[in-house]
Amino acid sequence: MLYNPTRLLFISTLITGTLIVTSSSTWLGAWVGLEINLLSFIPLMTQNNQFAAEAALKYFLVQALASAMLLFSILLSFMITSGGLPPVASSTLIPLSSALFLKMGAAPFHFWFPGVMEGLSWFGNLTLMTWQKIAPIMLMSYLTTSSLLFSSIILLSILAGSLGGLNQTSLRKIMAYSSINHLGWMIAASIMGDNFWLMYFSFYSFLSLIMVLIFNQFQLSHINQAYSLTMINTPVKLLLFGNLLSLGGLPPFLGFLPKWLIIQNMAQMNLYFMITFMVTFTLITLFFYLRIAYGAYMLTHQEPKWNSHPSSVSPSILYLSSISLLGLSLSSLIIIIF
């Protein structure tokens, strides 16, 4: 895929669009960067199947609507203020924020996200879950305050991400609702400062990369395929489901570290109700992760004797998984030593 010159062109413009957004000093320049990013991602989504074409069409229509809302809010704000990036007229804060929430797929504007994820390849899913969120979250961080609007979006995203994944059998949709849940944590982190949401986003991207590499290597798409992994030995299954629990934020895995830091700083801001709500409903995501692991280990686990050459993970996945499973313990040990 990377040796295709057309794909290389669109990947470079995809990166360029995001960099334009992050370095822009005006809202209009940021909008231009978002459009370049959008028009670069559409060709990367298309493949030789009808599901990818449907996902690309859904993504284009939703993003075009969000871009129109964003442009309208920007022009309206230009009429009221001088047009710089941080100052925004209070009357345009809600439509401007709503457009950015629609672009990133935060609840209650998440209706398009699971459907688009279902039609993409695993690496397309990884791009949609990670890179495509950088530009809207960066712009949203200029607007974030501990107001009722942002508090509602945080709680709705965590609620929708937790409850939406309960009855899903598709691993892509489970990852989609998990992404919506993590997005609520990222928006909460942006209230405390840019360094917090950047830290959380980095950990989330790292853990999502590991899961996508594992799913892609073994061509997993549904829960029942994880149940019947007879060609995969027990240590590989342990890596797979250990990384799932790390993505859910279960201690003592690495995924608990960013949640730990955010909970500690939110407690210093006396946001106790929000902390309780976020932790309680995030535990539900651990439930549907455990449902996959319990079924694969306890209900349908088998090791046929004729399978003399069980499949194994690549060394890169093994190294990354070891960081995910042991990272929290190692980081605590480093802090104690130094």
Which has more confidence, 311 or 121? 121
What six digits make up the tokens of 238? Answer: 């342990």
Asked if 177 and 237 sit in the same domain, the reply is: yes
**Whether pLDDT at 144 is above 50:** yes
**Whether pLDDT at 1 is above 60:** no
**Distance separating alpha carbons of residues 58 and 111, to the nearest angstrom:** 10
The pLDDT score that the predictor gives to residue 26 is: 87
**Whether pLDDT at 13 is above 90:** yes
Using the 3D structure, point to which of 61, 96, 131 is the last residue of a domain.
Answer: 96
Spatial CA neighbour of 79 closest among 28, 17, 121: 28
Which has more confidence, 304 or 53? 53
Domain coverage including residue 51? 1-96
**Whether pLDDT at 197 is above 90:** yes
In 189-230 the beta strands, taken as DSSP E runs, fall at none
Q: How many residues does the chain have?
A: 338
Using the 3D structure, point to which of 43, 61, 96 is the last residue of a domain.
Answer: 96
Which has more confidence, 195 or 238? 195
Using the 3D structure, point to which of 96, 120, 140 is the last residue of a domain.
Answer: 96
Q: Does the predicted TM-score (pTM) go above 0.75?
A: yes
The pLDDT mean for the chain works out to 85
The pLDDT score that the predictor gives to residue 335 is: 58
Asked if 124 and 181 sit in the same domain, the reply is: yes
pLDDT tens for residues 165-190? 888 889 999 999 999 999 999 999 99
How far, rounded to the nearest angstrom, does the alpha carbon of residue 324 sit from its chain's CA centroid?
Answer: 17
Spatial CA neighbour of 137 closest among 149, 148, 129, 126: 129
Indicate the Cα dihedral angle 244, 247, 252, 256, nearest 10°: -170
pLDDT tens for residues 302-317? 555 555 444 566 778 8
Spatial CA neighbour of 153 closest among 198, 188, 190, 117: 188
Asked if 294 and 156 sit in the same domain, the reply is: yes
**Whether pLDDT at 110 is above 80:** yes
Kindly calculate the radius of gyration of the chain based on its CA atoms and give it in whole angstroms.
Answer: 21
Q: Peptide bond preceding 86: is omega within 30 degrees of 0, i.e. cis? A: no
Asked if 158 and 59 sit in the same domain, the reply is: no
DSSP 44-76: HH--SSHHHHHHHHHHHHHHHHHHHHHHHHHHH
pLDDT tens for residues 67-107? 999 999 888 888 877 655 555 667 788 889 999 999 999 98
